[in-house]
Amino acid sequence: MNKLKLRISYADTDQMGMVYYANYLKYFERGRTELLREVGVNYKELEAKGFYLPVLSAECKYISPAKYDDVIIVETKIQEVTAASITCYYEVKLGEKLLVIGKTKHPFVNKDLKPMRIPKDIKEVLEKHLEK
């Protein structure tokens, strides 16, 4: 699991002073990138090898809003690894208070968006860090 600490900027909020709902997907992406880096799977290196991880699906449940200047934690876990995709699970918290939960699914594809099997060495690393 990766815990990414973020301070909410004014630009991330809406007229009501709360984080604009779509920005949580950006926070998920940042958490996922840091998690992959932490376990030894660098996204930039994956792309150099011809692998891409587009978003196939995204889910987000909003429980309570974050506001300007709040310091939130985005907890990211690898929830599922298949032959050709990964699913990540996210919890966004303010202290111990749960604000948002979500998940995203990412197929491994080539530049032409053709599905590809996850290379064995990368799959082993991802499976080693599976959490449920």
Active site residues: 14
Residues 1 and 77 sit within 8 Å (Cβ to Cβ): yes
**Closest to 22 in 3D by CA, of 79, 69, 60:** 60
Residues 101 and 85 sit within 8 Å (Cβ to Cβ): no
Residues 43 and 36 sit within 8 Å (Cβ to Cβ): yes
User: In whole angstroms, what is the distance from residue 84 CA to residue 44 CA?
Assistant: 18
User: In whole angstroms, what is the distance from residue 107 CA to residue 83 CA?
Assistant: 9
